Structure 1
Amino acid sequence: MIVPYIAVMIKMVTAGSHAAPVRGRPREFDMEEALDGAIRVFRERGYHASSIGDLTDAMGLASGSIYKAFKDKRDIFLAAFDRYTLLRTAQMQQVAGAAKSARERLRDLFAFYLESSRGVEGRRGCLVVGSAVELAIFDREVAARVGASLANNEALLAGLVREGHLDSSVPRGVDPEETARVMVYLTQGMRVVGKAGRAPPDPSITIEIAMKLLT
């Protein structure tokens, strides 16, 4: 089964990924562990509904330590966003780097997104999608980060379509850029639906329909 395989891989990559150290900040605590706590809060509650109290509890820090390491809540959010996208990129690259045909790797990426949209993980939501909805219109720096994350995903998918042309697993008539763009629409939509608790009951059917983009 594809989905259980992806679920195990998500846990493995998250456990093994490390963000770059934050320079010039006190390291009396584990920055990555603290930011992982902040990520959970922002994903579940959104930016505006997350209080400093929520963050101190989740990050395991006193408010004094928070303000020594970060200027304010927005500074925490930006650091958490950067770590979140770093981890997600590592997960996607591991799925995309498997020793399989490009078509099979694209299928695995759809399964990866579906698994991320189900259950507790799905209800927590995607920090990129949440930020796009809640903050990107009003905050140019957040908008730039959201845009860069989506562009990276699109480039990865387009690259796999091109690899599929070369290994003959994807027909050459499938346009890499346009197809990748639609795939981003689809995968990000999965995260929105997952946040609402309406992930598809049978992932295999959704994956088969999505794969028709490559015919």
Structure 2
Amino acid sequence: MGRRKEFVREEALRSAMRTFWSKGYDGTSIPDLMHSMCISRSSLYETFGDKQSLLNEAVKYYSELVGEKKRGILANAKSAKQGLTDYFRYHTEAALAENGPGGCLITNLSIFYDYLGDETKTLIEERIETLEEAFYNLLEKGKENGELASTVNSRKTARLLLAMNHGMNVLARVKGNSCIMKDISESIPHLLT
């Protein structure tokens, strides 16, 4: 009978995600991961594979944990302006959470995009495209129900919102200032008037 693993996989994955989120891929060592995940080197490799595979799994986990909630806010919004208000309020809270590394895992990794593996690059591109589509769909819904003028270019505006989303993540990471984030967040729905 093999030795029983002494850790909960999801808890270990969450810890790895937070470590990559905080330190980036290159800044995270195997000992950092072993320490944060509270597992041995052999358990890390047996369960998650190499560091790159663990990063890819952490990105997917982050997308399920944080990304789906954010996209759900946009998809279930009653109106475009309310959806953006709710989204960016939650976005600000998540980016500045006291127990969080600051900003966003996807944004933080994107800064070092050229140094990432191909699968990680693809995962990041997919997450960015998915968020752009969520913004686009919300704006189109706003145009269909008459809330937004038909002249609003939903694609360009979705891309602007995407840039603001990731820019806010960088500000949260660098400044960590809730007043700045709140000012930006509250200004976004007014861009549509």
TM-score range relative to shorter protein: 0.7 to 0.9
RMSD over aligned Cα atoms:
2.3
Unaligned runs of at least 5 residues, structure 1: 1-25
Using the alignment, how far apart are the partners of 2:71 and 2:187 within structure 1? 23
For 1:178, which of 141, 151, 156 is the aligned residue? 156
Using the alignment, how far apart are the partners of 1:175 and 1:79 within structure 2? 35
Counterpart of 1:147, as a letter, is: E
Of 90-99 and 159-168, more deviation after overlay is shown by: 90-99
| Equivalences for residues 1-215 of structure 1 within 5 A | 29-98=7-76, 100-120=78-98, 123-136=101-114, 139-201=117-179, 203-215=181-193
Using the alignment, how far apart are the partners of 2:116 and 2:72 within structure 1? 34
Give CA deviations for 1:79-120 in whole Å, capped at 9, x if unaligned.
111111122222113322446223201211121222223253
Identity of aligned residues (%): 27
Is the Cα contact below 8 Å between 2:5 and 2:43 reproduced in 1? no
TM (norm. structure 1) is 0.79
Is the Cα contact below 8 Å between 2:20 and 2:105 reproduced in 1? yes
> How far is 1:158 from its partner?
0.3
Aligned residues: 190
Residue of structure 2 equivalent to 1:14? none
Give CA deviations for 1:151-209 in whole Å, capped at 9, x if unaligned.
00000000000111122222222111110000000010000111112435155532332
Of 169-178 and 110-119, more deviation after overlay is shown by: 110-119
Is the Cα contact below 8 Å between 2:136 and 2:154 reproduced in 1? yes
Counterpart of 1:205, as a letter, is: D
Using the alignment, how far apart are the partners of 2:12 and 2:100 within structure 1? 22
Change in Cα spacing, 1:188 to 1:66, as seen in structure 2 (3 Å) is: same
Is the Cα contact below 8 Å between 2:19 and 2:33 reproduced in 1? yes
Is the Cα contact below 8 Å between 2:133 and 2:158 reproduced in 1? yes
Change in Cα spacing, 1:202 to 1:72, as seen in structure 2 (3 Å) is: closer
TM (norm. structure 2) is 0.87
